[in-house]
């Protein structure tokens, strides 16, 4: 009896309700038509997305040697096109000529002068005489002793030239690091696009399966709506990844030119994380620290030159002159000149200021070196953490692959899993793949920054 009552209740639950007469029936028909049109539109969009060919990376350069050569060529092109690097090169060449100019100041100097114009003379008790005269003269001078002033000034200019040259190297390294980072970002976003495309293809297959199931069982229509919503979300993420890829390529074109090579696999290009002690030893020879060393030496040499300029100077001077007019005349003189400052109240303050600037430059160099070593230790920790995270994600990915396969099989064959379990497993798996891509590229960018801070990224690339 209980069984009969149970069957009767179930039959009543499944029995269709009678349609309401009149206007409500028309409204229901309109609503059903609108829902059917929306369903057909969503189904058409899903079919269009599923028919879109996925980028399988066939045109991607996967050979590590070829990828490294490609990255080296991109760096060289960026350095060649960089206007800031070109300007720093010109400044370094100008500083080298400044050294030659200052070095020549201690050598013998010879000059020639001439003039043409009226001249007059009136001796005492005589008549005034005027005539048109042409005067010529030759002057020779040579600084014999200056307490090393010219030598200190020459060293000052030479140190500034060294600093300018190191500045050029530093700017070139900055352009190289920027190029490498943009190339890494291009590789990252390209892999993101591929992963999202594979995720979309997986959801498309699930949507096709659900369409067949719903055709036989209308009660599972909500699962189809859920799957199509997930597909739209994945497509939005894929479109965002494509936009980020296009923006990155635009930035890269500004550095290397409009022609970009085929994308290369750069996720495992640089070697493993180097030892921190080796990097800190290399940091002392980095371009920025060497430039600060040169500036400190320049300040010290300028201080020595300031002190030397307050002492006596000795030199030799010879001059010969000739005047041509109504009357010819000539004159010459030669001798040794001595210059000795006796009272110069500003000499000591100038020397003290120069010494203090030299000491300040040394302190700035030491502070920069300490900051660089601290920065190296920080980035080294980040690089090790990224490498460890990438290795750990690999293990989680393997387990995630098993979980999603088992979940899908249980949902398809045994009916022991819901669609939400399947979508959750798929989402976790592809998010882990994205996390793996990010961990690999974060590790590569951290190692690129490490090598750049420690002296240059060219060595690990070459």
What does the pLDDT read at residue 36?
A: 36
Tokens of 45: 């969009």
Using alpha carbons only, give the angle 380, 385, 386 rounded to the nearest 5 degrees.
Answer: 100
Cα dihedral across residues 386, 392, 398, 399: positive or negative: negative
Check residue 123 and give its pLDDT.
67
Cα separation, 282 vs 298, in Å, equals 23
Asked if residues 418 and 411 have their Cβ atoms less than 8 Å apart, the reply is yes
Residue 414 is predicted with a pLDDT of 58
Report the pLDDT value the prediction gives residue 364, as an integer from 0 to 100.
93
The reported pLDDT for the residue numbered 51 is: 55
pLDDT in tens, 361-378: 999 999 999 999 999 999
> Cα dihedral angle (58, 64, 68, 74), rounded to 10 degrees?
10
pLDDT at residue 27 greater than cutoff 80 = no
Q: Which of 55-64, 146-155, 287-296, 348-357 has the lowest mean pLDDT?
A: 55-64
Beta bridge partners of 130: 120
- Average pLDDT, integer, range 201-205: 89
Give the pLDDT confidence score for residue 2 in this predicted structure: 42
pLDDT recorded at residue 111: 87
Dihedral sign of CA atoms 160, 166, 172, 178 in order: negative
Output the pLDDT for position 122: 65
Q: Pick from 236, 234, 233, 211: which is nearest to 224 by CA?
A: 211
**76-114 pLDDT per residue, tens:** 999 999 999 999 999 999 999 999 988 888 888 888 888
pLDDT higher than 90, residue 293: yes
pLDDT band at 333 (very low <50, low <70, confident <90, very high): confident
CB-based contacts of 72: which residues, under 8 Å, 6+ apart? 461, 462
Instruction: Please report which confidence band the pLDDT of residue 252 belongs to, taking 50, 70 and 90 as the band edges.
Output: very high
Highest mean pLDDT among 20-24, 314-318, 327-331: 314-318
Tokens 């090579």 found at: 261
Domain ranges across the chain: 61-114+132-461
Q: Region 293-318: what's the mean pLDDT?
A: 88
pLDDT at 125 over 50: yes
Handedness of CA 72, 73, 77, 78 (dihedral sign): negative
How many other CB atoms sit within 10 Å of the CB of residue 205? 10
- Work out the angle between the directed axes of helices 276-283 and 419-453 (0-180°, nearest 10): 40
Residues 6+ apart with CB under 8 A from 362: 296
Render pLDDT for 226-247 as a digit per residue (tens, 0 to 9). 888 889 999 999 999 999 999 9
Of the chain, the end-to-end C-alpha distance in Å amounts to 87
Per-residue pLDDT of 30-84, as tens digits, reads: 333 333 333 344 444 444 446 554 454 456 666 778 888 888 999 999 999 999 9
pLDDT at 134 over 70: yes
Confidence label for 266 from pLDDT (cuts 50, 70 and 90): confident
pLDDT at residue 341, rounded to an integer: 81
pLDDT in tens, 378-432: 999 998 998 888 888 888 888 888 887 888 778 777 566 677 778 888 888 899 9
The verdict on pTM exceeding 0.85 is no
CA separation for the pair 337, 115 (Å, rounded) = 26
Can you name the CATH fold of 61-114+132-461? Outer membrane efflux proteins (OEP) (1.20.1600)
In terms of pLDDT, which residue wins out, 322 or 41? 322
% of the chain surpassing 90 pLDDT: 33
Q: What is the 3-state secondary structure (H, E, C) of the chain?
A: CHHHHHHHHHHHHHCCCCCCCCHHHHHHHHHHHHHHHHHHHHHHHHHHHHHCCCCCCCCCECCHHHHHHHHHHHHHHHHHHCHHHHHHHHHHHHHHHHHHHHHHCCCCEEEEEEEEEEEEECCCCCCCEEEEEEEEEEEEEEEEECCCHHHHHHHHHHHHHHHHHHHHHHHHHHHHHHHHHHHHHHHHHHHHHHHHHHHHHHHHHHHHHHHHHHHHCHHHHHHHHHHHHHHHHHHHHHHHHHHHHHHHHHHHHHHHCCCCCCCECCCCCCCCCCCHHHHHHHHCCCHHHHHHHHHHHHHHHHHHHHHHCCCCEEEEEEEEEEEECCCCEEEEEEEEEEECCCCCCCHHHHHHHHHHHHHHHHHHHHHHHHHHHHHHHHHHHHHHHHHHHHHHHHHHHHHHHHHHHHHHHHHHHHCCCCHHHHHHHHHHHHHHHHHHHHHHHHHHHHHHHHHHHCCCCHHHHC
For residue 192, give both structure tokens: 């993101």
Q: What does the mean pLDDT of the chain come to?
A: 81
Q: Which of 454, 419, 369 is nearest to 173 (CA)?
A: 454
CB 398 within 8 A of CB 392: no
């Amino acid at each position: 009896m209980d069984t009969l009552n149970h069957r009767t209740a179930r039959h009543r639950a499944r029995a269709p309700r009678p349609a309401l007469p009149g206007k409500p029936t028309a409204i229901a028909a309109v609503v059903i038509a609108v829902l059917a049109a929306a369903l057909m539109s969503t189904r058409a969009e899903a079919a269009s997305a599923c028919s879109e060919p996925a980028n399988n990376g066939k045109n991607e350069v996967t050979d590590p040697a070829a990828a490294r050569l490609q990255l080296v060529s991109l760096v060289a092109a960026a350095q060649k096109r960089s206007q800031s690097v070109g300007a720093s090169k010109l400044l370094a060449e100008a500083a080298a000529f400044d050294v030659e100019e200052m070095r020549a100041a201690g050598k013998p100097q010879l000059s020639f002068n001439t003039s043409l114009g009226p001249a007059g003379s009136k001796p005492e008790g005589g008549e005034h005489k005027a005539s048109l005269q042409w005067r010529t003269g030759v002057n020779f001078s040579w600084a014999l002793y200056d307490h090393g002033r010219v030598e200190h000034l020459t060293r000052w200019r030479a140190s500034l030239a060294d600093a300018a040259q190191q500045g050029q190297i530093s700017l070139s390294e900055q352009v190289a690091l920027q190029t490498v980072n943009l190339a890494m970002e291009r590789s990252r976003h390209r892999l993101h696009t591929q992963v999202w495309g594979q995720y979309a293809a997986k959801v498309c297959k699930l949507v096709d399966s659900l369409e067949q199931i719903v055709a036989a069982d209308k009660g599972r229509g909500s699962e189809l709506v859920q799957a199509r919503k997930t597909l739209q979300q994945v497509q939005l993420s894929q479109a965002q990844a494509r936009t980020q890829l296009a923006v990155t390529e635009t930035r890269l074109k500004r550095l290397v030119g409009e022609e970009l090579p085929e994308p290369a696999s750069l996720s495992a290009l640089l070697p493993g994380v180097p030892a921190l002690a080796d990097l800190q030893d290399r940091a002392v020879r980095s371009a920025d620290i060497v430039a600060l060393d040169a500036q400190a030496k320049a300040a010290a040499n300028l201080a020595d030159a300031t002190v030397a300029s307050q002492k006596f100077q000795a030199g030799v001077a010879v001059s010969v002159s000739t005047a041509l007019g109504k009357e010819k005349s000539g004159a010459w003189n030669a001798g040794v000149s001595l210059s000795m400052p006796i009272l110069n109240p500003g000499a000591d303050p100038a020397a003290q200021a120069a010494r203090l600037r030299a000491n300040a430059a040394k302190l700035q160099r030491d502070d920069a070196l300490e900051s660089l070593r601290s920065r190296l230790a920080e980035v080294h920790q980040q690089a090790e953490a990224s490498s460890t995270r990438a290795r750990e994600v690999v293990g989680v990915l393997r387990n995630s692959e098993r979980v999603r396969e088992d979940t899908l099989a249980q949902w398809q064959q045994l009916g022991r899993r819901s669609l939400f379990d399947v979508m959750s497993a798929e989402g976790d798996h592809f998010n882990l793949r994205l996390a793996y891509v990010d961990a690999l590229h974060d590790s590569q960018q951290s190692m690129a920054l490490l090598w750049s801070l420690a002296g240059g990224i060219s060595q690990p690339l070459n």
